[in-house]
Amino acid sequence: MPIAPVSPTGLFQVGITIPQQAQSNLLAVTLDVDNDVPIGPLLAELGETIRALTAGTDPRLLGLSPGDLTVTIGIGPRLVRMADPALPGTTDLPQFPHEQITPQARGGDLLIQICATDAVVPPITAAALLTQAGNRTQERWRQSAHRGSTVPLGQGRTAPRNQFGFIDGIVGPHTPAQQQRNLWLPGPPPVANATIAVLRRMELDLPRFAALPVATQEAIFGRRRTGEPLSGGTITTDPDLGAKTPDGRYLIPADAHTRRAHSTAVGVGLMLRRSYSIAEPTPGLLFISFQNDLQTFTDTLTHMTDDDALLPFTTTTASATFLILPGFDQAHPLGATLFHR
Ligand code: HEM
Protein backbone atom coordinates (compact mmCIF):
# COMPACT_ATOMS: atom_id res chain seq x y z
CA MET A 1 0.00 0.00 0.00
CA PRO A 2 1.48 3.44 -0.84
CA ILE A 3 2.34 5.54 2.22
CA ALA A 4 0.53 8.89 2.54
CA PRO A 5 2.91 11.82 1.92
CA VAL A 6 3.32 14.50 4.61
CA SER A 7 3.37 18.12 3.41
CA PRO A 8 6.45 19.86 4.87
CA THR A 9 4.88 23.33 4.88
CA GLY A 10 2.58 25.05 7.37
CA LEU A 11 2.53 27.06 10.58
CA PHE A 12 4.74 24.54 12.42
CA GLN A 13 7.44 22.25 11.10
CA VAL A 14 6.45 18.60 10.74
CA GLY A 15 8.16 15.73 12.58
CA ILE A 16 6.91 16.87 15.99
CA THR A 17 3.13 16.43 16.07
CA ILE A 18 2.75 15.45 12.39
CA PRO A 19 2.32 12.67 11.45
CA GLN A 20 0.46 11.79 14.64
CA GLN A 21 2.08 8.34 14.69
CA ALA A 22 5.84 8.91 14.38
CA GLN A 23 7.44 7.01 11.49
CA SER A 24 9.45 3.90 12.37
CA ASN A 25 12.87 5.21 11.27
CA LEU A 26 14.73 8.34 12.33
CA LEU A 27 18.12 9.80 11.49
CA ALA A 28 19.37 12.79 13.46
CA VAL A 29 22.39 14.66 12.06
CA THR A 30 24.01 17.54 13.92
CA LEU A 31 26.32 19.97 12.14
CA ASP A 32 28.42 23.02 12.78
CA VAL A 33 28.20 25.99 10.45
CA ASP A 34 31.49 27.58 9.41
CA ASN A 35 32.16 31.14 10.53
CA ASP A 36 31.11 33.91 8.13
CA VAL A 37 28.56 31.70 6.35
CA PRO A 38 25.34 33.71 5.76
CA ILE A 39 22.74 31.73 7.73
CA GLY A 40 19.59 33.05 6.00
CA PRO A 41 20.44 31.72 2.51
CA LEU A 42 21.63 28.38 3.95
CA LEU A 43 18.35 27.78 5.82
CA ALA A 44 16.23 28.96 2.87
CA GLU A 45 18.06 26.54 0.56
CA LEU A 46 17.58 23.69 3.03
CA GLY A 47 13.84 24.49 3.14
CA GLU A 48 13.60 24.46 -0.67
CA THR A 49 15.51 21.19 -0.81
CA ILE A 50 13.13 19.70 1.77
CA ARG A 51 10.16 20.72 -0.39
CA ALA A 52 11.71 19.06 -3.45
CA LEU A 53 12.68 15.91 -1.54
CA THR A 54 9.25 15.40 0.01
CA ALA A 55 7.58 16.10 -3.35
CA GLY A 56 9.80 13.39 -4.88
CA THR A 57 11.16 15.82 -7.50
CA ASP A 58 14.77 16.01 -6.26
CA PRO A 59 17.00 13.84 -8.47
CA ARG A 60 19.20 13.10 -5.44
CA LEU A 61 16.42 10.75 -4.23
CA LEU A 62 17.64 8.47 -7.03
CA GLY A 63 14.12 7.47 -8.00
CA LEU A 64 13.07 6.38 -4.50
CA SER A 65 9.61 7.34 -3.33
CA PRO A 66 9.83 9.71 -0.32
CA GLY A 67 6.66 8.19 1.16
CA ASP A 68 5.93 9.87 4.51
CA LEU A 69 9.37 11.54 4.74
CA THR A 70 9.56 14.45 7.18
CA VAL A 71 12.57 16.70 7.79
CA THR A 72 12.72 18.96 10.84
CA ILE A 73 15.37 21.69 11.10
CA GLY A 74 16.67 23.26 14.29
CA ILE A 75 19.44 25.75 15.04
CA GLY A 76 21.75 25.57 18.03
CA PRO A 77 22.18 28.23 20.74
CA ARG A 78 25.20 29.87 19.02
CA LEU A 79 23.17 30.62 15.88
CA VAL A 80 20.16 31.83 17.89
CA ARG A 81 22.49 34.20 19.76
CA MET A 82 23.78 35.46 16.39
CA ALA A 83 20.20 36.26 15.34
CA ASP A 84 19.25 37.92 18.65
CA PRO A 85 20.74 37.15 22.08
CA ALA A 86 17.40 38.00 23.74
CA LEU A 87 15.47 35.16 22.07
CA PRO A 88 14.49 31.83 23.63
CA GLY A 89 16.86 29.07 22.44
CA THR A 90 20.12 30.86 23.29
CA THR A 91 20.95 28.67 26.31
CA ASP A 92 23.18 25.60 26.03
CA LEU A 93 22.34 22.46 27.99
CA PRO A 94 24.39 22.19 31.18
CA GLN A 95 26.30 19.04 32.12
CA PHE A 96 24.49 16.44 34.23
CA PRO A 97 25.61 13.34 36.15
CA HIS A 98 25.65 9.95 34.34
CA GLU A 99 27.23 11.54 31.24
CA GLN A 100 30.18 10.31 29.17
CA ILE A 101 30.09 12.81 26.31
CA THR A 102 33.02 13.63 24.03
CA PRO A 103 33.28 17.32 23.02
CA GLN A 104 32.27 16.25 19.49
CA ALA A 105 28.97 14.79 20.76
CA ARG A 106 27.89 17.85 22.72
CA GLY A 107 25.92 20.70 21.16
CA GLY A 108 25.99 21.77 17.52
CA ASP A 109 24.76 24.58 15.25
CA LEU A 110 22.23 22.69 13.12
CA LEU A 111 19.92 19.74 13.65
CA ILE A 112 18.49 17.77 10.76
CA GLN A 113 15.90 15.30 12.07
CA ILE A 114 14.73 12.97 9.29
CA CYS A 115 11.88 10.47 9.76
CA ALA A 116 10.38 7.98 7.30
CA THR A 117 8.67 4.60 7.19
CA ASP A 118 11.10 3.43 4.50
CA ALA A 119 14.47 2.82 6.24
CA VAL A 120 16.43 3.64 3.06
CA VAL A 121 14.96 7.15 2.75
CA PRO A 122 16.58 8.93 5.78
CA PRO A 123 20.26 8.36 4.84
CA ILE A 124 19.60 9.35 1.21
CA THR A 125 17.75 12.45 2.38
CA ALA A 126 20.65 13.33 4.72
CA ALA A 127 23.13 12.94 1.87
CA ALA A 128 21.05 15.27 -0.34
CA LEU A 129 20.78 17.94 2.36
CA LEU A 130 24.49 17.71 3.22
CA THR A 131 25.38 18.03 -0.47
CA GLN A 132 23.18 21.13 -0.60
CA ALA A 133 24.93 22.61 2.45
CA GLY A 134 28.27 21.79 0.80
CA ASN A 135 31.40 23.04 2.48
CA ARG A 136 29.48 25.56 4.59
CA THR A 137 28.88 22.93 7.33
CA GLN A 138 30.84 20.22 9.14
CA GLU A 139 29.11 17.15 10.53
CA ARG A 140 29.34 16.75 14.32
CA TRP A 141 27.50 13.52 15.18
CA ARG A 142 24.67 11.47 13.72
CA GLN A 143 22.39 8.81 15.12
CA SER A 144 19.96 6.49 13.41
CA ALA A 145 17.14 5.14 15.53
CA HIS A 146 14.02 3.03 15.20
CA ARG A 147 10.61 2.38 16.69
CA GLY A 148 9.32 -1.16 16.96
CA SER A 149 5.78 -2.29 17.63
CA THR A 150 3.50 0.28 19.20
CA VAL A 151 0.63 0.08 21.67
CA PRO A 152 -2.70 1.88 21.07
CA LEU A 153 -3.48 4.64 23.59
CA GLY A 154 -6.91 5.63 22.20
CA GLN A 155 -7.97 8.61 20.05
CA GLY A 156 -5.66 7.41 17.27
CA ARG A 157 -2.55 7.76 19.43
CA THR A 158 0.05 5.06 19.89
CA ALA A 159 3.34 4.73 21.79
CA PRO A 160 6.29 2.39 21.25
CA ARG A 161 7.99 0.11 23.75
CA ASN A 162 11.58 0.98 24.63
CA GLN A 163 14.31 -1.63 25.09
CA PHE A 164 13.45 -2.00 28.78
CA GLY A 165 10.07 -3.28 27.55
CA PHE A 166 8.09 -0.27 28.84
CA ILE A 167 5.69 1.87 26.83
CA ASP A 168 7.28 5.27 26.29
CA GLY A 169 5.42 8.42 25.24
CA ILE A 170 2.15 8.17 27.15
CA VAL A 171 2.21 11.47 29.05
CA GLY A 172 2.66 14.70 27.10
CA PRO A 173 0.93 17.74 25.62
CA HIS A 174 -1.39 15.85 23.28
CA THR A 175 -4.41 18.19 23.02
CA PRO A 176 -4.23 21.41 20.94
CA ALA A 177 -4.73 23.49 24.12
CA GLN A 178 -1.84 21.70 25.89
CA GLN A 179 0.32 22.15 22.81
CA GLN A 180 -0.40 25.88 22.72
CA ARG A 181 0.53 26.11 26.39
CA ASN A 182 3.55 23.80 26.59
CA LEU A 183 4.89 22.98 23.13
CA TRP A 184 4.83 25.94 20.73
CA LEU A 185 6.47 29.28 21.47
CA PRO A 186 3.90 32.09 21.36
CA GLY A 187 6.57 34.69 20.51
CA PRO A 188 8.39 37.02 20.25
CA PRO A 189 7.55 37.25 16.52
CA PRO A 190 10.82 35.72 15.15
CA VAL A 191 10.18 32.50 17.11
CA ALA A 192 6.36 32.34 17.11
CA ASN A 193 5.37 28.71 16.36
CA ALA A 194 8.91 27.49 16.98
CA THR A 195 9.74 25.04 19.79
CA ILE A 196 12.83 23.85 21.66
CA ALA A 197 14.21 20.34 21.15
CA VAL A 198 16.44 18.31 23.45
CA LEU A 199 18.30 15.26 22.12
CA ARG A 200 20.10 12.90 24.48
CA ARG A 201 21.62 9.62 23.35
CA MET A 202 21.59 7.14 26.23
CA GLU A 203 23.22 3.79 26.63
CA LEU A 204 20.91 1.47 28.60
CA ASP A 205 22.23 -1.29 30.84
CA LEU A 206 19.95 -3.98 29.41
CA PRO A 207 21.53 -7.04 31.11
CA ARG A 208 21.32 -5.50 34.60
CA PHE A 209 17.72 -4.32 34.08
CA ALA A 210 16.57 -7.60 32.50
CA ALA A 211 17.96 -9.57 35.47
CA LEU A 212 15.54 -7.82 37.86
CA PRO A 213 12.13 -9.33 38.79
CA VAL A 214 9.30 -7.73 36.79
CA ALA A 215 7.84 -6.20 39.99
CA THR A 216 11.15 -4.40 40.63
CA GLN A 217 11.27 -3.17 37.02
CA GLU A 218 7.72 -1.86 37.43
CA ALA A 219 8.64 -0.12 40.70
CA ILE A 220 11.54 1.62 38.91
CA PHE A 221 9.16 3.08 36.31
CA GLY A 222 6.14 3.44 38.64
CA ARG A 223 4.05 1.78 35.95
CA ARG A 224 3.08 -1.74 34.93
CA ARG A 225 4.85 -3.14 31.93
CA THR A 226 1.44 -2.81 30.28
CA GLY A 227 1.58 0.96 30.90
CA GLU A 228 -0.91 1.53 33.74
CA PRO A 229 0.40 3.68 36.63
CA LEU A 230 0.98 1.68 39.86
CA SER A 231 -1.68 3.93 41.43
CA GLY A 232 -4.27 2.20 39.22
CA GLY A 233 -6.56 3.02 36.32
CA THR A 234 -5.89 2.54 32.63
CA ILE A 235 -2.79 3.29 30.59
CA THR A 236 -3.82 6.92 30.04
CA THR A 237 -4.95 7.57 33.64
CA ASP A 238 -2.82 10.26 35.29
CA PRO A 239 -0.50 8.78 37.92
CA ASP A 240 -1.91 9.53 41.41
CA LEU A 241 1.26 10.50 43.24
CA GLY A 242 -0.54 10.73 46.63
CA ALA A 243 -2.09 7.23 46.51
CA LYS A 244 -0.91 4.97 49.37
CA THR A 245 -1.26 1.37 50.52
CA PRO A 246 -3.32 0.74 53.72
CA ASP A 247 -0.04 0.68 55.67
CA GLY A 248 0.95 4.10 54.33
CA ARG A 249 3.48 3.34 51.57
CA TYR A 250 3.28 5.17 48.24
CA LEU A 251 1.81 3.01 45.44
CA ILE A 252 4.16 4.88 43.09
CA PRO A 253 7.49 4.64 44.97
CA ALA A 254 9.34 7.79 45.99
CA ASP A 255 12.14 7.06 43.51
CA ALA A 256 9.95 5.85 40.59
CA HIS A 257 10.67 7.53 37.25
CA THR A 258 7.00 8.43 36.77
CA ARG A 259 7.07 10.35 40.07
CA ARG A 260 10.47 12.02 39.68
CA ALA A 261 9.72 13.13 36.08
CA HIS A 262 6.06 14.07 36.67
CA SER A 263 5.38 17.67 35.67
CA THR A 264 3.49 18.56 38.85
CA ALA A 265 6.17 16.99 41.07
CA VAL A 266 8.81 19.03 39.23
CA GLY A 267 6.69 22.17 38.90
CA VAL A 268 7.05 22.60 35.13
CA GLY A 269 4.91 22.28 31.99
CA LEU A 270 4.56 19.14 29.86
CA MET A 271 7.21 18.04 27.38
CA LEU A 272 6.39 16.15 24.19
CA ARG A 273 8.62 13.07 24.25
CA ARG A 274 9.20 11.40 20.88
CA SER A 275 12.05 9.03 21.68
CA TYR A 276 13.42 6.23 19.50
CA SER A 277 15.41 3.08 20.31
CA ILE A 278 18.97 2.64 19.07
CA ALA A 279 21.07 -0.44 18.41
CA GLU A 280 24.41 1.24 17.65
CA PRO A 281 26.91 2.18 19.00
CA THR A 282 25.36 0.38 21.99
CA PRO A 283 21.71 -0.52 22.71
CA GLY A 284 19.83 2.39 24.15
CA LEU A 285 17.49 5.28 23.68
CA LEU A 286 17.63 8.44 21.61
CA PHE A 287 15.62 10.61 23.99
CA ILE A 288 13.96 13.46 22.07
CA SER A 289 11.71 16.02 23.71
CA PHE A 290 10.04 19.18 22.47
CA GLN A 291 8.93 21.96 24.85
CA ASN A 292 8.56 25.73 24.71
CA ASP A 293 10.86 26.28 27.68
CA LEU A 294 14.27 24.61 28.07
CA GLN A 295 13.76 24.74 31.84
CA THR A 296 10.98 22.16 31.50
CA PHE A 297 13.73 19.72 30.52
CA THR A 298 16.55 20.96 32.78
CA ASP A 299 14.34 21.19 35.90
CA THR A 300 12.95 17.69 35.21
CA LEU A 301 16.38 16.11 34.82
CA THR A 302 17.66 18.01 37.87
CA HIS A 303 14.68 16.68 39.87
CA MET A 304 15.45 13.15 38.63
CA THR A 305 19.18 13.36 39.22
CA ASP A 306 19.58 12.31 42.84
CA ASP A 307 16.57 10.09 43.33
CA ASP A 308 15.32 8.57 40.08
CA ALA A 309 15.75 4.78 40.20
CA LEU A 310 15.95 4.65 36.37
CA LEU A 311 18.95 6.96 35.93
CA PRO A 312 21.63 4.55 37.26
CA PHE A 313 20.73 2.25 34.33
CA THR A 314 21.61 4.99 31.83
CA THR A 315 24.78 6.64 30.52
CA THR A 316 24.29 9.65 28.29
CA THR A 317 26.76 9.78 25.40
CA ALA A 318 25.46 12.71 23.30
CA SER A 319 23.51 15.83 24.23
CA ALA A 320 22.21 18.90 22.43
CA THR A 321 19.43 21.45 22.30
CA PHE A 322 18.08 23.27 19.26
CA LEU A 323 15.50 25.91 18.47
CA ILE A 324 13.18 24.18 16.00
CA LEU A 325 12.43 26.93 13.49
CA PRO A 326 8.86 28.09 12.80
CA GLY A 327 7.07 26.45 9.89
CA PHE A 328 7.73 27.61 6.31
CA ASP A 329 6.27 27.56 2.82
CA GLN A 330 7.14 28.89 -0.63
CA ALA A 331 6.36 32.49 0.36
CA HIS A 332 7.98 32.28 3.83
CA PRO A 333 11.42 30.65 3.55
CA LEU A 334 12.73 28.47 6.37
CA GLY A 335 14.48 30.67 8.94
CA ALA A 336 13.34 33.96 7.37
CA THR A 337 11.86 35.26 10.63
CA LEU A 338 15.34 35.10 12.23
CA PHE A 339 17.80 35.72 9.40
CA HIS A 340 17.76 37.84 6.23
CA ARG A 341 17.80 35.86 3.06
C1 HEM B 1 16.64 12.63 29.94
C2 HEM B 1 16.08 11.92 30.84
C3 HEM B 1 14.58 11.70 30.89
C4 HEM B 1 13.59 12.64 31.04
C5 HEM B 1 13.76 14.13 31.18
C6 HEM B 1 12.33 11.93 31.05
C7 HEM B 1 11.09 12.52 31.16
C8 HEM B 1 9.90 11.86 31.35
C9 HEM B 1 8.63 12.47 31.65
C10 HEM B 1 8.40 13.96 31.77
C11 HEM B 1 7.73 11.48 31.82
C12 HEM B 1 6.23 11.64 32.17
C13 HEM B 1 6.08 11.31 33.61
C14 HEM B 1 4.70 10.96 33.95
O15 HEM B 1 3.92 11.89 34.18
O16 HEM B 1 4.41 9.75 33.98
C17 HEM B 1 8.41 10.25 31.59
C18 HEM B 1 7.82 9.02 31.63
C19 HEM B 1 8.43 7.91 31.16
N20 HEM B 1 9.74 7.79 30.74
FE21 HEM B 1 11.15 9.18 30.87
N22 HEM B 1 12.57 10.61 30.88
C23 HEM B 1 13.93 10.42 30.78
C24 HEM B 1 14.59 9.25 30.60
C25 HEM B 1 13.94 8.08 30.31
C26 HEM B 1 14.60 6.85 29.98
C27 HEM B 1 16.12 6.66 29.92
C28 HEM B 1 13.61 5.95 29.76
C29 HEM B 1 13.72 4.51 29.37
C30 HEM B 1 14.78 3.84 29.17
C31 HEM B 1 12.34 6.58 29.98
C32 HEM B 1 11.11 5.99 29.87
C33 HEM B 1 9.92 6.51 30.33
C34 HEM B 1 8.69 5.77 30.47
C35 HEM B 1 8.46 4.31 30.11
C36 HEM B 1 7.76 6.64 31.03
C37 HEM B 1 6.32 6.33 31.44
C38 HEM B 1 5.34 6.37 30.38
C39 HEM B 1 5.16 7.68 29.68
O40 HEM B 1 4.63 8.65 30.25
O41 HEM B 1 5.59 7.74 28.55
N42 HEM B 1 12.58 7.89 30.30
N43 HEM B 1 9.74 10.51 31.31
We report the CATH number of the domain holding residue 216 as 3.30.70.1030
Per-residue pLDDT tens for 99-128?
999 999 999 999 999 999 999 999 999 999
Residue 3 lies in a domain: no
Neighbours of 189 (CB within 10 A): 7
- H or E segment to which residue 41 belongs: helix 39-55
User: What is the per-residue pLDDT for 1?
Assistant: 62
228 CB within 6 A, ligand 1: no
Q: Which of 162, 168, 202, 304 to mutate to test the pocket of ligand 1 (most atoms within 8 A of CB)?
A: 168
pTM here is 0.97
Residue 269 lies in a domain: yes
- Provide the mean pLDDT of the chain: 97
Q: Which one-letter amino acid corresponds to residue 139?
A: E
What range defines the domain where residue 51 resides?
25-324
User: What is the Cα 105 distance to its own chain's centre?
Assistant: 16
Our count of domains for the chain comes to 1
Q: Contact 239/231 with Cβ under 8 angstroms?
A: yes
User: What is the per-residue pLDDT for 3?
Assistant: 87
Q: Which of 257, 290, 291, 310 to mutate to test the pocket of ligand 1 (most atoms within 8 A of CB)?
A: 257
Distance 89 CA to ligand 1 centre (A): 23
Residue 249 lies in a domain: yes
259 CB within 6 A, ligand 1: no
Residue 265 lies in a domain: yes
Residue 7 lies in a domain: no
Distance 324 CA to ligand 1 centre (A): 21
Residues contacting 207, CB < 8 A, separation 6+: none
User: What is the per-residue pLDDT for 83?
Assistant: 97
Q: Which of 167, 258, 289 to mutate to test the pocket of ligand 1 (most atoms within 8 A of CB)?
A: 258
Residue 34 lies in a domain: yes
Residue nearest to atom 31 of ligand 1 (CA): 168
221 CB within 6 A, ligand 1: yes
pLDDT at 341 over 80: no
